[in-house]
């Protein structure tokens, strides 16, 4: 049987000034009609470059496809030149690609309708009027309501999830037989991610289109993929059906990826087992097994300059490794140190009482005030010394606004914040220095929060200088070296610039900088959202270790509830500036009360295909509304399937349901 799409022995290199980088090294894969396959691996493993190579999208030079074939409907499309008319007909007509960041893929000066119509007219030869009708139809198909008017919107007038739907509409505009989704949901909230992936699965079912999902999120693959290819350092390490890969992984790399994933159904007291080190630089490949430097099981044969042989376990399951599955399973597993469970009632460190933060809405050159946006509305909670409070909710729910208000980067509209019993909500700027020493911030984007003109050591030691925490240069240097060691970095790296570090190392630098002032409270604002799953586990373990060693208190902000569950003692759920539920972590997962919390939990995939089949998914309707159009009554009622007239007219207050579990819902 002929496959719809098949890559055979593909090799792509990049000719750099002082090295030859083998970005794709002898990769083979296939996809059949109506099938969904997943291509997984860490950043730099060659997933995206593989697909861009066969579509002629890599820059030439320095890139070059030096070997291989790529058959689409029986034709080897690698025979066509990257700028040939034949390949352009395949690219967009037969094969379409959905890219990771829609805002960089959409033209900001063209309406979304014009961008959809452009592809239709180019590949299908339709007239302008017909193309417009097709564009409106496509917007409706991907779940964008009122297509007749919104077809004339510009990309900036859509939310992130809606922009991704526009990208899918463009990809589907010419009825392709194959869709390639390249990290298409990585930057989205879990609820929006679920909506987009469900949409893609519906397209596959209804149109017999095939789908390739490129991602580093194994949980997503467990829910949606039929077969999986695991890539590392430009090569396929393991391939098999979804059930085979998750139930019986046979490559140490696949095993490491699965152990590193925090799960909703796992024992949170067990430490995540991270993969040591960082992904191999393709320029340093020697011909030996590329995973050997990071492998717990590597032997002398793994370091010989010969790639490991393929071992077949079934017609669909094979692995490139010297070890048999039985050898790996009987070998000693990495030490799984348990997480220390906190006990006892500690003193209150932070108390927040009914805080509000309203931003004025202005209009015209004179900046005339026309209203206000309620970014935070009557939010109350507390955090004890030494505990972690998880803060979850979709983008636009007020999580980061709350964090910046606690740090007094924003002034309160009303309410009070008590830190160690002292009201800090009205402190003047000149009196905030001591607070800023005790309360530190770890930002979401490590590269954006590091000064590219400073060395790593200078940035880490900045708080030591500002707060005069060292009496001599010798003491200063020792403190900086100790901070590097505390976060797992070599002090010899302190003279490097930020761009010379990997993503995980940059996040460690940010953590070291936050520790420099010896704080008691650290606000972690999405500190792992931009990292691969293996690096995520390293950072999570590091934060847990630092908390145990230094008695730190965390406010941990994220939208991934599986990660939040692993690190948190209690969890606060926010929606549109209000607290809708707060509870001890385990109780929240065992007995979620608010419909919004239940929907968030249902949107988190579990890396187990069998469990995913049995789960009941309570999807949320639509997306988070703009704060400018804040609903009356319960803020969640427009998206709640259980909403009543009472929900539309009245605002529910937080009610205690025992054991510190509170929720704001009329239906309880």
What's the CA gap between 555 and 539, in Å, rounded? 15
* pLDDT at residue number 554: 95
pLDDT band at residue 339 using 50, 70 and 90 as cut-offs: low
User: What's the sign of the alpha-carbon dihedral 639, 645, 650, 655?
Assistant: negative
345 pLDDT exceeds 60? Answer: no
Q: How far is CA 550 from CA 515, 521, 565, in A?
A: 10, 11, 21
Q: What share of residues in the chain are helix, strand, coil (percent, to 5)?
A: 35, 25, 40
What's the CA gap between 327 and 346, in Å, rounded? 47
What's the CA gap between 475 and 87, in Å, rounded? 63
Give the total residue count for the chain. 668
* pLDDT at residue number 329: 67
Partners of 384 in the beta sheet? 348
Average pLDDT of the chain is: 87
Name the residue with tokens 């719809």. 4
174 neighbors 92 (Cβ within 8 angstroms): yes
* pLDDT at residue number 414: 93
Structure tokens at 460: 């880490």
The number of helices, as runs of H, and strands, as runs of E, in the chain is 24, 24
Secondary element (H or E) of residue 358: strand 348-363
342 pLDDT exceeds 60? Answer: no
Architecture of domain 348-663: 3-Layer(aba) Sandwich (3.40)
pLDDT band at residue 500 using 50, 70 and 90 as cut-offs: confident
What's the CA gap between 371 and 360, in Å, rounded? 6
Partners of 379 in the beta sheet? 355
pTM score, two decimals? 0.86
Pure H helices in 487-560: 503-515, 533-550
pLDDT band at residue 662 using 50, 70 and 90 as cut-offs: very high
Classify domain 34-51+80-330 at the CATH class level.
alpha beta
pLDDT in tens, 268-313: 667 788 888 778 877 788 889 999 999 988 889 999 988 999 999 9
pLDDT in tens, 38-85: 999 988 888 989 999 999 888 888 889 999 999 999 999 998 888 888
What's the CA gap between 46 and 13, in Å, rounded? 11
What's the CA gap between 25 and 22, in Å, rounded? 6
What's the CA gap between 575 and 562, in Å, rounded? 18
646 pLDDT exceeds 60? Answer: yes
pLDDT band at residue 418 using 50, 70 and 90 as cut-offs: very high
Task: Supply the DSSP symbol for 92.
Answer: I
pLDDT band at residue 533 using 50, 70 and 90 as cut-offs: confident
582 neighbors 572 (Cβ within 8 angstroms): yes
What's the CA gap between 3 and 76, in Å, rounded? 12
pLDDT in tens, 206-257: 888 999 999 888 888 888 999 999 999 999 999 999 999 999 999 999 999 9
182 neighbors 41 (Cβ within 8 angstroms): no
* pLDDT at residue number 335: 52
pLDDT band at residue 341 using 50, 70 and 90 as cut-offs: low
Secondary element (H or E) of residue 40: strand 36-40
Average pLDDT over residues 543-547: 91
* pLDDT at residue number 612: 79
Q: Greater confidence, 235 or 363?
A: 235
616 pLDDT exceeds 80? Answer: no
**Topology match between the domains 34-51+80-330 and 348-663:** yes
* pLDDT at residue number 530: 67
pLDDT in tens, 443-474: 877 777 788 889 999 999 999 999 999 999 99
pLDDT in tens, 81-105: 888 888 888 887 889 988 877 777 8
18 neighbors 55 (Cβ within 8 angstroms): no
Task: Supply the DSSP symbol for 93.
Answer: I
* pLDDT at residue number 269: 66
What's the CA gap between 120 and 480, in Å, rounded? 58
Ramachandran area for residue 327 (φ above 0: left; ψ -120 to 50: alpha; else beta): alpha
Q: Where are the domains of the chain?
A: 34-51+80-330, 348-663
- Is 248 strand, coil or helix? coil
């Amino acid at each position: 049987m002929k496959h719809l799409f098949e890559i055979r022995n593909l090799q792509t290199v990049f000719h750099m000034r002082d090295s030859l980088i083998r970005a794709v090294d002898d990769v083979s894969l296939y996809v059949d009609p109506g099938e969904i396959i997943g291509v997984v691996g860490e950043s730099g493993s060659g997933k995206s470059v593989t697909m861009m190579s066969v579509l002629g999208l890599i820059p030439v030079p320095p890139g070059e496809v030096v070997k291989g074939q790529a058959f689409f409907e029986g034709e080897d499309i690698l025979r066509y030149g990257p700028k040939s008319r034949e390949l352009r007909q395949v690219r967009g007509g037969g094969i379409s690609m959905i890219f990771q960041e829609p805002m960089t893929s959409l033209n900001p000066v063209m309406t979304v309708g014009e961008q959809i119509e452009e592809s239709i007219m180019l590949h299908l030869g339709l007239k302008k009027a017909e193309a417009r009708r097709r564009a409106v139809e496509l917007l409706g198909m991907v779940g964008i309501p009122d297509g007749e008017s919104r077809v004339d919107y510009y990309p900036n007038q859509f939310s992130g999830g809606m922009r991704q739907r526009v990208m899918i509409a463009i990809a589907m505009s010419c009825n392709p037989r194959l869709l390639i989704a390249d990290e298409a949901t990585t930057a989205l909230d879990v609820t929006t991610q679920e909506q987009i992936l469900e949409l893609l699965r519906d397209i596959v079912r209804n149109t017999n289109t095939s789908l390739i999902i490129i991602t580093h999120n194994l949980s997503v693959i467990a829910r949606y993929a039929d077969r999986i290819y695991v890539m590392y350092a430009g090569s396929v390490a393991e391939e098999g059906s979804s059930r085979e890969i998750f139930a019986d992984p046979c490559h140490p790399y696949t095993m490491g990826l699965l152990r590193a994933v925090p799960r909703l159904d796992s024992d949170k007291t067990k430490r995540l087992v991270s993969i040591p080190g960082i992904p191999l630089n393709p320029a340093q490949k020697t011909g030996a097994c590329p995973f050997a430097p990071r492998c717990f099981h590597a032997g002398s044969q793994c370091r010989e300059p010969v790639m490991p042989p393929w071992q077949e376990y079934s017609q669909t399951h094979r692995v490139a490794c010297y070890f048999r599955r039985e050898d790996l399973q009987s070998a000693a597993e990495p030490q799984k140190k348990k997480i220390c469970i906190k006990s006892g009632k500690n003193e209150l460190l932070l108390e927040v009482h009914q805080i509000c933060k309203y931003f004025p809405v202005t209009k015209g050159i004179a900046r005339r005030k026309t209203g206000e946006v309620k970014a935070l509305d009557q939010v109350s909670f507390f955090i004890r010394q030494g505990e972690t409070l998880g803060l979850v909710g979709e983008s636009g729910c007020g999580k980061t606004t709350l964090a910046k208000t606690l740090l007094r980067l924003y002034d309160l509209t009303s309410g009070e914040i008590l830190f160690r019993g002292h009201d800090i909500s009205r402190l003047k700027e000149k009196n905030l220095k001591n607070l800023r020493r005790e309360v530190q911030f770890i930002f979401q984007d490590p590269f954006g929060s590091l000064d590219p003109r400073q060395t790593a050591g200078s940035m880490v030691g900045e708080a030591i200088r500002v707060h005069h925490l060292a009496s001599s240069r010798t003491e200063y240097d020792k403190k900086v070296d100790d901070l590097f060691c505390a976060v797992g970095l070599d002090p010899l790296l302190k003279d490097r610039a930020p761009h010379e570090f990997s993503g995980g190392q940059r996040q460690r630098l940010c953590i070291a900088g936050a520790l420099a002032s010896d704080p008691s409270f650290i606000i972690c604002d999405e500190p792992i959202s931009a990292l691969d799953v293996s690096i995520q586990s390293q950072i999570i373990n590091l934060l847990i270790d630092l908390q145990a060693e230094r008695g730190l208190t965390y406010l941990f902000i994220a939208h991934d509830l599986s990660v939040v569950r692993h690190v948190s003692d209690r969890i606060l759920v926010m929606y549109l500036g209000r607290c809708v539920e707060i509870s001890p972590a385990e109780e929240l997962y065992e007995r979620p009360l608010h419909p919004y919390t239940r929907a968030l939990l249902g949107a988190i995939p579990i890396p187990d295909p069998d469990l995913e089949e049995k789960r009941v998914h309570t999807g949320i309707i639509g997306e988070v509304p703009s704060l400018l159009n804040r609903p009356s009554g319960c803020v969640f009622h427009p998206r709640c399937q259980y909403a009543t007239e009472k929900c539309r007219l009245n605002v529910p207050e937080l009610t205690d349901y025992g054991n510190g579990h509170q929720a704001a819902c009329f239906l309880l």
